[in-house]
Amino acid sequence: MKELRRENAHYRTKAKEQEEAAQKALKDAEETTTKAKADADSRIIRAELKAAALKAGMIDLDGLKLADLSKVTLKDDGTLEGADALMEGLKKDKPYLFGQAATTSHPGKAPDPNPPTPKKATEMSADEYAAAKAAALNGGK
């Protein structure tokens, strides 16, 4: 009977140790997860602020190092709260960091609505045909 009690006490001690180890592992995992989420949120905030700074016309993104980022938070939907106010504050306090507002589109020349149509060989004279043939054989030179 004493042997069974000792064995039972041994198993209870082992179970308690295992439970403590599991609790410690759970706590460590939660801390690691929290730290990873904070790091990811910080990276997202910095990336979104860079985009907002470029949109606001910031000349050099090193100007973001002067900003107080504690007022900017990441919402659950992934958008930033306080970024616009931060950019307006920077524009007011440090206008030398900003040039004209940048856009992401570059309007180019519109395509010609009537593209040139190639002349048919049957509509060319013999001299025009010979010149076009020579140009085509020389690579258009």
Tens digit of each residue's pLDDT (9 = 90 or more) over 94-117: 888 887 655 666 677 888 888 878
How much is the pTM?
0.53
Pairwise CA distance, residues 57 & 59, whole Å = 6
- State how far the Cα of 61 lies from the Cα of 13, in Å rounded to an integer: 59
Distance CA 109, CA 86 (A): 36
Handedness of CA 131, 132, 133, 139 (dihedral sign): positive
pLDDT at res. 141: 57
- DSSP letter for 100, please: S
